[in-house]
Every structure is written in structure tokens, then in C-alpha cells.
Structure 1
Amino acid sequence: MNVYRQFDGGIYSLPGTGSIGVANVFEDVFRVCVTQADAPRPFPNYAFIQEEKPLSAPASAKLVSGKSCLLKTDKWELEVFLSAKKQGFVLKDNKGLIRFNCAGDNTFVFDGEIIKMNFPLEAERQAYGLGEWGECLARIPGYYEMWNTDDSFHQPCKRPYCNIPVMMMTSAKNCGWVMLFVNNPGFVGFDLGLKEIGLGTISVATGDLDMWLICGDSPSELMSKWTELTGRCKRPPLWSLGFHQCRWSYMSQDEVLDIISTFRKKKIPVDAIWLDIDYMQDYRVFTWNKKTFSKPAEMCKKLRQKKVRVVTILDPGVKIEPGDKAFDEGLKDEIFLRDATGQLIDRVVWPGHVHHPDFSSPKTRKWWGKQIKRAVTDVGVAGLWNDMNEPACFGEGPIGLQYPADAIHFDDGNFRSHKALHNVYGMCMARASQEALEAAHPNERPFVLSRSGWAGQQRYSAIWTGDNRSSFSSMPYDIVQVLSMAMSGVPFVGSDIGGFIGNASPELMVRWMEHGVFLPFCRAHSQTQTQRHEPWSFGPDAEAKIKSLIELRYRLLPYLQNAFITAQMTGRPVVRPLVYDSPEDKTVRTIGNEFMFGDSLLIAPVLEPGVDSRAVYLPAGKWYHWYSGESRTGGKWFTESAPLGMPPVYVKAGSLIMMGDVIQSTDDKSSVLYCKLYPSEDVATTMVYREDDGLSFDYLKGKQYERSIEIGKMEKSDKSVTMHVGAATGKYHTKYSRIVLQVAESMSIGSLIIDGMNCGSGNHELSFYDDSGAHRIKIYCKK
């Protein structure tokens, strides 16, 4: 039995035309599929992981007077209305609170192939997600077309590179949350009150309107369920979390080696250098330029000796050139896309006329992996950068519509049109690239970066937001894109630091780096014929500030690694908008220019030129300023000073921030773990610190280090904080032999008691050696 195609609630005819299928798929997950056929049409699965989880208590389906169908569980109730006067459905919780309502007399509209569903948008209801759209974090009002498009101008309200048709919705009146996903990789439109205030419309241009409703009481609960359905990101290699340097293009292997030598000479941390299209011979994928990159294996070896890895760009288009190995083998294996008449499709991209592989076919993915091994991984390249994979083409039609709609994809043997599958092309390419890396190095974590993607993308790659601009106006747009991808289930995201198109000023580059070092993916990049974006390209003052910010990222790697481990285990995004952590606070529902980094740090970037302060909103509770250690009381707006190089960063009271030493590469070893305490008089917290080797999949075999830590409230009488540190568990031994306990800069340690023994006092920090045992630690703080 395939749970994804089962309609245990029944299939019912709609008045006039079409039918509707209803299912209780998993606990707290319902499916409503509207079709113009007699029954919902089978569709291959791209979004969901292939697991079947039997329901402990499936919903009971009851047909009520032939006019409605009622599915009821212990917690949820879905009623589907079937009469001419009232069609649609209402989702409620067991307290009668409506989570989603589309029941009315004009709910479903059929217009040729198009299916539309209209639904009321209650006052102040808000929505989040829908992929990479960057105009506003809060999606209502707005109109969003799900059609992955290479629009490098980032025009307002135009289709972005990565669309994911899933949104979290809440109502301002009651904080009732629900998540709605449209499982259709063709065109999907979301009109959320833009054309008509108070009215929402979801439409599909091909196939069925296949809606999945995920029930929950908070964004965190919904995200956990969504990523349980669609899969969670694997733990990335630790080197992918370091700082990366890129340019279109570094023109020779000598230049690449010189760039990295400069990083090392200036002691600016870096973990990877990226090669754009000019490393290839005439832009042909799976080739190296015979003159300028004549010895790629030697280059990669020298870079690894400097503890730096290489990532190369791969475009999907294969040049039509007999004698080219990739082309000849692809033609022989019949892996290129054809139109409905059987003719190979010819399009133009960087190398000229090309054929595009059909990544929906296992045969194609095997061919792709063979080419990657021969030309990429065997010479020492560590990561893959998938570009132009919407797919993008030059000329021949409006932007985003250059690829023929009648191209036929294998599609698990169903042979569907490109029009029906357009949005999964990039994700299928990312899957092929990940599989290639895993085949080449079976026990090494793969790293793939993709420009395009769809629902479930987190299983295969990181995402970057594409060709942004070197301007202050681009920064808030990029931040919203990153946060919206996080709300769509993709945690490994970033934007090109400094902007790709145009010339960054020293001020802009520093301000961009101020928040870029706190994003999951951290890479500086720039376009050909623009100013260089290496840290030393902006003068000594800016260089010093950029270096300091990159060093901060490296110090926070233990904290960042734990945030990714949490994402892998629970689906919790690494960065996220404030509404994710404070859904009860109505003020944060439209704030898209601040974000949480992990569970404890709040980042408020400066996004305007020529200013040294900004308005900041902190959610309720006590917060500490990262640089001064001074406390702030949340639940209100205030103006914060923000000198260049010192962005407003805050730590939630009750947190213990894990940090390491400044290192030049994630391959460097540090023996000291710094644990910085930010005490709270109001909140006791529990956290789990985890650590693994950062490279292999051995953590799946239990080879990780884990400690639970309980942090008590700070006693008002003597300013003491008690921590219970659990004994270390797991088969991996921590690389840190010494622990340095610190407190916020505005405080000092009066005394430190470990298991009843006084371990002394210090101004700001005390250290002790880790014996992996359980301990009771008491810290007496003083101002």
C-alpha cells in the first residue's frame, strides 16, 4: 500500500465536473486533491521521502447526507463540502478553532487545464514561506508565481530562482497555525489578497490541485512535521560552514594559488575557493582549460596542503560537439531531453548550442556521476556548484519560458512534459550531483550548492539566492529570501556577500559581512569586470573589520555546528525570522530585517548607508548585547548604536554559547572550548551540546559526543547560577581537552564551585579540564 496515493477518506464527485479525493495521510496531516478527472491522477513523488508510517489511529470518514464528508481524529477535524451551494473544506482543531476554511459557493473553478481554489483571508491573517521571494517576509498581501526563473535583475514581484509551494499561515486573532503545501511541480499561483482584499486564490496550470494540510500549534511544530515528510538536511561537512571565496572568474590556477597564499599570509580564515565557468575549456562542462588550468590535480593538492578545498561550477547544458566525451557518452546513453516528436532539444547557453540531460531518469544520474568522477572528483575537487538549472537558456522567448514546454521527461516511467515538471529540474540535478559525490567518497559528507530547487531540496543541497546586486537596497531583499527559504524547510542558505553585480564600497562590504558571517552559507562573490571582493580589496581599515568578522564566525563554529545538528535531527532552521521563535508576538510578524541565528543569537543588520545606529525590536525577555554585555529588556523597540564592524547582536538570557579559538581553517585543531554564560533571573534552560568529526557519516553509527546541560535561574540573593552537566555519551571523544567558562562582558566570576570544590575566582573566565563525567557547577557572578 502506498500511503501517498491512498484516499482513505474517499473520492467524491463535485457538482458539474471534476472530483475530490480526501485522506488522513499521517498523524496531523490531511490531503485534499481536486481534479478535473473522475479520480485524482497518480503523480510520482518528488517532495516526500519514501517512507511509510502507519497511522496509530486513522481518521474515521463519515459521509453526511451526501453533502459533506467528515474526517475526524482525536485532535483534528476536516469536513469536505460537496454540494453546489457549498464546496470546499474546513479544518478545525478539537476545540473548534478553524485553522483553514475554503468552504463557499465559488470555491473551485475549472478553466481549461487550470484549476483554481478561492478562499477567504481573514483580517490580519499572515503567511510565510513560498520559497525565495524577497519583497516582504509576510506574504499577505502579495501574488506569487511558482515557476523557477533566471531573472538576474531581481525585479520586484518577479519569479525567483527557487519556488517552493508551501506556506505557514496564522490568524492574528488566535495564533492558530496551519501549513499548506501544493504538491504540483508545474506552475502554481498564490494570490494572497493582492487582486482583491480578503480573497485568496491558489491555482495550478497542469495536473491536479493536490493540497496537503499540516496541523500544528507553532511554526516549530509545523516545521518538524514538514521536514519529517520531505526529509531533513544531512549534516554538512564542517569545511562547508567556513568562509568561502569566489569570483567570476579566477582566470588561472596560478591566480587561485596566489589568492589562497594571500589569505594565509594575512591570517584571514578561509576554507574553500570556488571556480566559475572560465576554468573550463570553452565553457564546456566536464573540461578544464588546457592553458590556464592545465594541472588541476596538482592545484587541488597544493590547496589541500594549505587546508583549502576547491568547489567547481557545473552547468547542466552539454555542448553539442562530437568528440567531447560527455556529449558522446550522453548521446549514446540517450540521456538528453527530446520534444514530443522525439527530436533532441537544442538550446543556447555559455558554450553555445547544447542538449540538456533528463535528471528525472536514474540512467541520466548514473551518467552524470560517471562524468563527475572522471573530470571533477578524481582530480581532487571537493564540492559541486550547480548553476543555470532552472533550466536557464539564452534568448528564444520571455525570461523563464525559453525551454520548450513539450520536452518529455522520463519521470519514473510516466514520460511527462516539461510544463508539468519544470520546477523539479534543479532539484533532480542536485540529487544527481549529491549521488555522484557519495559514490566517489562513500563515507564523506557531500556538499552541493544549487541555484534552483523545490520542495524537499534540503535533502540534496544548499541554496544560494543567485545573482544579487552590490547595493544597500539588495541586502534586505536577500535577507528575506534566506529567511523565507528557511520557513520553506531549507536550512542551508546564503547570499553572495558584497553583491554579485556591481561594485561594493568598503562600507557596503563591511555591512554585508556583518550579517553574512551569521548566515548558514558564507561566501563572497563578484561578477566579471567588477571590483574584487577579497577581504583586502577595500583598504586596510575595511580589511581589518572584515577579518575580525570572519574570525568571529570561526570562533562560533561549535555553536553553528550544533545548530546544523539540530536541523538534521528536528528540522529546525539554522536561521529564521523572529516570528518562528516568538509566534505569540504580533509585532514580529512583519519583521524581516532581523533574524535568529541558532537558538540564542539575534542579529539586527545595518542595511542603510552612512548610519551608525538602527531601530531594533527585541522579543519579550532579557537580552545581552554581544559586544558590551549590557542587558536589554525585550518586548519593545529601541535605537541601538552600530559602529561599522560591530553590528547589533544580542544573546538571549539563559544561554550558554559554545565557541572555539580563532583558526585559519576547519582542518585546524583547537583544544579549548569556551562556554560563555548569559544568566537569566527568570528562565531556566536545558540544552544539549553535540560534536562529531565534521566529515564522515559515522554519527549515524553513534560516533558523536553529547552532553546535556541544565542551566538554572540566577539567584537574586547571591547572583549564583547552578548548572548540571550530564556525563558525556556517545562513541566520539571530544577534541576539546580544556573548558574555559566565561560570563557576559558586563559581569565577572566571583567564584566557581565544581562538585562542592572551590575552583577559584577570575575577572571574566576560569578554566578546567574535561573528564567527560557528570558535574554540578555553581557560578557566583558579580557586576
Structure 2
Amino acid sequence: MQKEEGKNIVKMTVSGDNSETIATSPTEMIFEPILEHGVFRFDCSVEHRKAAFPSVSFKNIKDREVPVISHSVPAYTPTCVCLEEKQVVTFEFSPGTSFYGTGEVGGELERTRKRVFTWNTDAWGYGPGTTPLYQSHPWVLVVLPTGETLGVLADTTQKCEVYMNRGIIRITAPTAYPIITFGPFSSPTAVLESLSHAIGKNCFMPPKWALGYHQCRFSYMSEKRVAEIAQTFRDKKIPADVIWMDIDYMDGFRCFTFDKERFPDPSALAKYLHNNGFKAVWMLDPGIKKEEGYSAYDSGSKDDVWVKQADGKPFIGEVWPGPCVFPDYTNSKTRSWWASLVKNFISNGVDGIWNDMNEPAVFNTVTKTMPENNIHCGDDELGGVQNHSHYHNVYGTLMARSTYEGIELADKNKRPFVLTRAGFIGSQRYAATWTGDNLSTWEHLHMSISMVLQLGLSGQPLSGPDIGGFGGNATPRLFGRWMGVGAMFPFCRGHSEVATDDHEPWSFGEECEEVCRAALKRRYQLLPHFYTLFYISHTTGAPVAAPIFFADPKDSRLRTVENAFLLGPLLVYASTLNNQGSHELHHILPNGTWLRFDFEDSHPDLPTLYLRGGSIIAVAPPHLHVGEFTLSDDLTLLVSLDENGKAEGLLFEDDGDGYGYTEGRFLITNYIAEKHSSIVTVKVSKTEGGWQRPKRRVHVRLLLGGGAMLDAWGWMERLSRLLCLQKVKFQN
């Protein structure tokens, strides 16, 4: 952007176009406080404010429209230029500012010099520079040199370009859209908690089984093969909770059907899996085969639920079943129709649903999707009747919403589990996500860490990659290393493409199998901690997995570390290099006390674990699936004292499914530890919830550093109405 001296015009180069466009000079955007303290809405003008479409990202649409009483003013005010039909918004920050967020984008963790486009796209085999991908998050987390943090949201569903470079954020999208800022606040966690008040927290507390290991392939071709996979996990004592069914379970790729030869009795298969401690997740795509006599097509045509062409006829596009029509999820009537189909589908023993191809992907087109001039009959609260360019980026989110609501209809006593490929900021209200069709390469292993972290920084806490890579054949070392890292991600699923070699944990030889077994045992021992982190995320909006600079946002050393992350006070350091294990790398640690530990499973392919001084986390005995956990199991507390000889932590417990936790049927235990002379006392400081504490043994392990520990055992006892842990003493 260059201003001509003495003239009230600027010359601008937009979106990589070398031609210059003449526009009026940048002007400061008008603002009003909304939602809560520190949150501001900016518009180019009063007219632009009136012309903006309703928010789809906000959980409560009115929160963006209604100003609140506040005497504060924004610390950073963007400028705006309108040219032709584009609105260009610019923020300027001081040198040393770092950028993060932007959701599902490959490449480096720190986003300086990154240009991101938001247009949900089927991006098989993407690379670090590929943009756009499957999801759109026009959101930037700005960490200032002081450690203070600001969030910037371009609240538009349209195609958007976000460019970040040397203290500058420039956002370009069709007119008119508001910018929402959050902060600056004292920490990135505070910004994300404020964001969650706008877009919603992880509204579905995941069922505990969803935090176990998931095994998938495109595809397990018969119910016999599915049963073989399940039995092999149990025979080999490798923990797992979920088997997934890709599109080949269907009759000719027709959604809501089953192949009569290969999957003749899905209910019997589900019963077999349930009896062996497994859940079953099945895929549903948006493309419905255009075929009279096919019930989903007939009922949808009767209810007039399809996306239309500009001429008013249903749009027909080629996907897996052949010619397909596409439900218009922007309309409440369509969402109800889809939810009713999902409800009936669940009766086959389906535990969760996987929404794929919902960008929406369309074959045999240059754009990989439907025409932008297609017509959606959207609800007024979403923007009304609009063309596809307006609703494209939220199509997948609205499909996930419809699926979620259908599962809710099927059983009010179970928490829905939905996985979606396409999404928008706010889609965490309905679904988990994965990072799409990655490749079996070391580059993709490395990139998977940053992608999971960026999704968490963009409000999506339950995410993970296809462990081992979807496309191509992993080597034993790559697969084992990836399983070691993937077992520490919020969502943990192995998945591989058709025509690749088998990619189950035992497919790469005995050494790799043992690494996978150890990695998944780690995850299952840490499930009480994971589950607690998800409860915290569900109630506060904090991420489950976070970059290590969250431990000290002022420390510039930490801002570009890409092979480590935090799970609360637990720090995970991984190697993504073929020729080096984690123990051979230089670990940059935040200031303070960080004590290394393991589960007597140290291996070059497993990440190195640290616990922050001043922390206590809960650990369970190893199990093969979540259903084996009982409240009478021994509970282990890992204790890492700070420099003052103190530590604290909490544990959330409930039924692991259902909604009893919303009615007080849970137990939150706050533990404290304190050292006096040579004695460390561990006890319960506070409890919440209506559950009685189960009587169980407690194993306290005091970390000493360098992997060393001291052990002691105690009992949880109920004394009158006071719940406490008997004192545990450690003699030096």
C-alpha cells in the first residue's frame, strides 16, 4: 500500500495481483464494545455495520449485534479501505509480535510471512504451503512482545485472505463484514476463554470412550474383517476403543444403507464390538445418489431439501455414488430431515458418525466443489436466501450440526460424537475434527503437531491427524514415532488410504508393535488427565493441547518451538526427525521447574514427558479400553513440587457419558502437596459435585528429576462429610 503525496488516494496490490487498484485513503474503523469487557466490534462505517450479514460463528447471534455499556476503548484500532467490492482491513503492531491461529493450515507454527485463504477445499496430499484446506478460520492470535495477547476475528463466511508479516495483519474479503477483537489480555489463555464466550466452548463434553484410540481404514471391506481387527487388538493387548467404517460398508456408496453381502447385519456387528469393549463409528457423506427408489433421495425430493442451481433445479454433482444431489443444511427444514435419517441410522448400533466430503467436495470439476452461483434457502438468522459463495465455508459445520442433533434425538442419555472434515470457526460446538488427507512422510509427522496446536488456538480442542499418514506407506520407524506423538494428541486415530499397506499397530514388525503398545498404554494411563483437561476446556474454553509458549508468553525462545506442546502442566517433547530420538534432541524448556518422568517405558520413538513444578496430575492403571475402568481402580498421583516445595492439581470424574455431570453427578477433587523438612504431605484441599468419593488405594509418586521417583501408598476414606487423603510421608 503506498499513499501518493498530496493526494487522498492510495495504490494497493491485492491478493498477489500485480495490477494496482485506486481507492480512498485508509480510515480508522468505527467501533463499539460488545459481549464483555475487552471485546470490540469494528466496522468500516455505520452503513457497513447495517449491511453486514448475521454471524454464523457466534453461538448467540445477538451477542455481536447488541453493544454493551463500557467506558473502555480498544488498544488497537484497524484501518479500512474499500475498493470495488472488497474490504481490506489492516492492523499494525510493534516489532517482535508473533502471529498464530488461522485454524487448519499447514506450515510453521508461527505465522509471520504466511498468507492464508479461507475456502473449504478437498486437499488430498496437501503440503506445508497449501492453502486453503478443509476448514476456514479467519482468526489470528496476536502475541505481543510483552506477552499480552489479542485475538482478531474477521466475522465473514465469504472467501477471505489473511496475510501476516512483520507486525502487519491484512484481511481482504467481500464487503461488508465486521472485525471482532478480544483483548489484549494478559495471556493467550485469557483470549481463548473470551473467544469461547462468543463462538461457544467445546459444547459437547466428549464421551470418555472418544478419548481412547480409534482404528480406521479406507476401508475395512467386511464385517468379518472388522471383527478380525477388533480381536487382534484384544489378543495382542493393544489398547483401543473404536473401530471405524468408511464408505465401503454402504450399498453402492448410498448413505444410510448397508451392503447386504459384506455388512449384512450391522446390529449384530455392533453387538459383537460392544461385547468386546469397542464402539463403532460410521461414515455419512452429504452427496445423496440421484436415484428414484432410494429412500433418502425420495424423501429428500418430497421435502424439497436439495441445494438448487441458479435456474431453480436441484444441483447434480458427481461424487462416490455417481450423480448426487446435496442437502441444503442452511435451512432448518433440511436439518430436521437429515436429523431424522440420522436418528433411524443410530438404531443399527451406531455409536458415532463421521462426516466426510462435506466442503462439499464434487468430482470432475476444476473448483472441486459446486458452482458459487448455486442457491441456498438459508434461515433468516443465517443470512436468508444466498448463493453458494456465501454459505460454502459453513456447509460442513451445518451438516455436522444436523448430524449432532440427529444423534441427540436417538438417545438423550448419551453424548453425541461427530467427526467432521469441513468446518468453520465455531464448529467445535458440534464436532471433532481431523487434519484431512495427509501423507506418510516425516514432513507430515512434523507438521501434524503445529496443525493440531493451531486448531486448538482457533477454538477447536478435539483434533488430531491420521496417525501414520493417510496417503502412502509408512515405514516402521515413521509409524512408531507417529504413534508415540499421536497418542498424546487430543484426538487419537490411525487411518490409511485404500491400496496402501496395512497400517494397524502390528503391521510393521515386533519392535514397532511394542512401541505402539507402549504409546497407547501411556495414553490410557493418562486418560484421567485428558478427561479432566476436556472438562476444563468444556467449561472455560481453554485449549487441551497448547504450544509451550503458553507456559511463559513473554519468553521469545518458546514461540517457535514446533516439536513440543503442553497438556495442562504436562509437557510433551517429541522428535520428528528420522535419525534422532527425542532423548537426543536439545529440549528448550520454559523457566521454572520441569521434572522428567516416564512409565518405565523409555524408548527413542516415544516422546519425553515433563511435569511442571507445582503440579499434580492423576494417572490410572493401564486398561485395554475405557469400559474396563472402574471407580475402585487404584489411582496414581504424580507430584512435581515447585521451588517452594508445593504442588496442586485437580481431577474430574463422572460416568464418562450422558449428562449427569450437568446435574451435579460428578466429583472434582483438588489435591495439594507440601513439603516440610523431609516430609511431603498430600491431601485433598477441596471437592465439588454430588458424587461420594469411591474407596480406593492411592499411589503417590513424587518426581525427583532425571526420571527418579519416590513412592508411597494411601487410602481414600470418607470421614463424616469431609473427604480427605491420609497423609503420605516420604523420607529422604
Q: Distance in 1 between matches of 2:25 and 2:615?
A: 60
Residues 1:55 and 1:28: Cα distance change in structure 2 (over 3 Å): farther
What's the CA shift for 1:278? 0.5
Counterparts in 2 of 1:651-690, with a 5 A limit? Answer: 651-670=611-630, 671-682=633-644, 684-690=646-652
Is the Cα–Cα contact under 8 Å of residues 702 and 710 in structure 2 kept in the other structure? no
Relative distance call for 1:22 and 1:654 in structure 2 (3 A) is: closer
**What's the CA shift for 1:732?**
2.4
Q: Give the superposition deviation at 1:201.
A: 1.7
Q: CA, structure 1 residues 55+514, in 2 after alignment: closer, same or farther (shift >3 Å)?
A: same
Unaligned runs of 5+ in 1: 1-13, 61-72, 78-90, 93-99, 630-640, 750-761
Paired amino acid for 1:698: G
Query: Is the aligned partner of 1:619 residue 2:593?
Result: no
In the other structure, the counterpart of 2:31 is: 22
The equivalent position to 2:283 in structure 1, one of 308, 313, 331, is 313
Correspondence for 2:363: 394
Is 2:711 the counterpart of 1:764?
Answer: yes
Letter in 1 for 2:137: I
Gaps of 5+ in 2: 1-22
* Map of 2:491 onto structure 1: 521
Distance in 1, Cα, partners of 2:729 & 2:694 = 28
Q: Which residue of 2 aligns with 1:213?
A: 181
With the length of structure 2 as denominator, give the TM-score of the two structures. Answer: 0.90
Closer, same or farther: CA 417–35 of 1 in aligned 2, 3 Å: farther
Aligned-partner residue type, residue 690 of structure 2: K
Identity %: 31
1:262 aligned residue: 232
- After superposition, what is the alpha-carbon deviation per residue over 1:283-321, rounded to whole angstroms, capped at 9, x for unaligned? 111111111001111111111111111001111110111
Deviation at 1:572, TM superposition (A): 1.0
Between stretches 559-568 and 227-236, larger displacement belongs to 227-236
Bigger mean CA deviation after superposition, 328-337 or 539-548: 539-548
Alignment correspondent of 2:161: 189
Distance 1:301 1:398, change over 3 A: same
**Compared with structure 1, are the counterparts of its residues 178 and 199 closer, same or farther at alpha carbon in structure 2 (3 Å cutoff)?**
closer
Quote the offset at 1:748 in angstroms.
12
> Is 1:358–1:410's contact at 8 Å kept on the other side of the alignment?
yes
Three-state SS of the structure 2 residue aligned to 1:617 is coil
Change (3 A) 1:417 1:581: farther
1:385 matched to 2:332:
no
2:41 touches 2:178 (CA, 8 Å); kept in 1? yes
**1:166-205 equivalence runs, <5 A:** 166-172=139-145, 174-193=146-165, 199-205=168-174
The equivalences for 1:118-517 within 5 A come to 118-155=90-127, 156-172=129-145, 174-193=146-165, 199-205=168-174, 207-215=175-183, 216-233=185-202, 234-374=204-344, 376-399=345-368, 402-413=369-380, 414-517=384-487
Aligned amino acid, residue 33 of structure 2: N
Q: 1:575 to 1:302 in 2, by over 3 A?
A: same
- Give the corresponding residue for 1:759: none
The whole-number CA distance in structure 2 between the counterparts of 1:609 and 1:17 is: 49
Separation in structure 1 between the aligned mates of residue 61 and residue 392 of structure 2, nearest angstrom:
25
1:121 positional shift: 4.4
Q: Distance in 1 between matches of 2:713 and 2:702?
A: 10
Matches within 5 A, 1:15-94: 22-26=31-35, 27-34=37-44, 37=47, 39-50=49-60, 58-59=68-69, 73=71, 76-77=72-73, 91-92=74-75
Alpha-carbon spacing, 1:594–1:496, altered in 2? closer, same or farther (3 Å): same
| Inter-partner Cα distance in structure 2 for 1:514 and 1:562 | 21
The structural deviation recorded for 1:117 is 1.9
Partner residue of 1:646 out of 587, 606, 629:
606
Shift, 1:406, TM fit: 1.1
1:156-179 C-alpha deviation (Å, 9 max, x unpaired): 24211112111111222x333211
Residue 684 (structure 1) shift: 3.8
Kindly indicate whether the alpha-carbon contact (under 8 Å) linking 1:672 and 1:736 is maintained by their aligned counterparts in 2.
no
**Partner amino acid, structure 1, of 2:180:** W
For residue 235 of structure 2, give the secondary structure of its aligned residue in structure 1. helix
Deviations 1:418-475 (A, max 9, x none): 1112111111011011101111011211100011111111110101001111111111
How much does 1:389 deviate? 0.8
Q: Which has the higher contact order (CA 8 A, sep 6+)?
A: 2
SS at match of 2:44: strand
Aligned mates of 2:686, 2:115 — CA distance in 1: 52
| Alpha carbons 1:338, 1:344 under 8 Å: kept | yes
Matched, 1:111 2:86: no
| Structure 1: distance between partners of 2:638 and 2:97 | 39
Deviation digits for residues 716-774 of structure 1 (CA, Å, limit 9, x no counterpart): xx23334441354422245562222222276999xxxxxxxxxxxx9623132432734
Q: How many residues align?
A: 697
Deviation string 1:592-643 (CA, Å, 9 cap, x unpaired) is: 221002x1211111101122322211100111112399xxxxxxxxxxx984
**SS state at 1:416 partner:** strand
Per-residue CA shift, 1:334-354, capped at 9, x if unaligned? 111002221211111111111
1:221 partner amino acid = A
Whether the 8 Å contact between 1:679 and 1:721 is mirrored in structure 2 is no
Structure 2 residue matching 1:546: 3-state secondary structure: helix
Q: Which residue of 2 aligns with 1:635?
A: none
Aligned-partner Cα distance in 2 for 1:420–1:542: 47
Shift of 1:246: 0.5
Q: 1:285/1:55 Cα in 2 relative to 1: closer, same or farther (>3 Å)?
A: closer
Corresponding residue for 2:13?
Answer: none
- Give the TM-score, by structure 1 length: 0.85
Aligned residues of 2:717 and 2:723 also touching (Cα < 8 A): no
Cα 1:777–1:621 change in 2 (3 A) is farther
- Structure 1 vs Structure 2 CA RMSD: 2.6
- Note the C-alpha offset of 1:226: 0.5
Classify 1:574/1:19 alpha carbon distance in 2 versus 1 (closer, same or farther; 3 Å): closer
Aligned mates of 2:64, 2:307 — CA distance in 1: 38
Are the counterparts in 1 of residues 678 and 731 from structure 2 also a CA contact under 8 Å?
A: yes
Structure-2 change in CA distance of 1:480 and 1:646 (3 Å): closer
1:711 alignment partner in structure 2: 673
Structure-to-structure mapping, 1:598-637, within 5 angstroms = 599-612=568-581, 613-627=584-598
1:739 aligns with 2:712: no
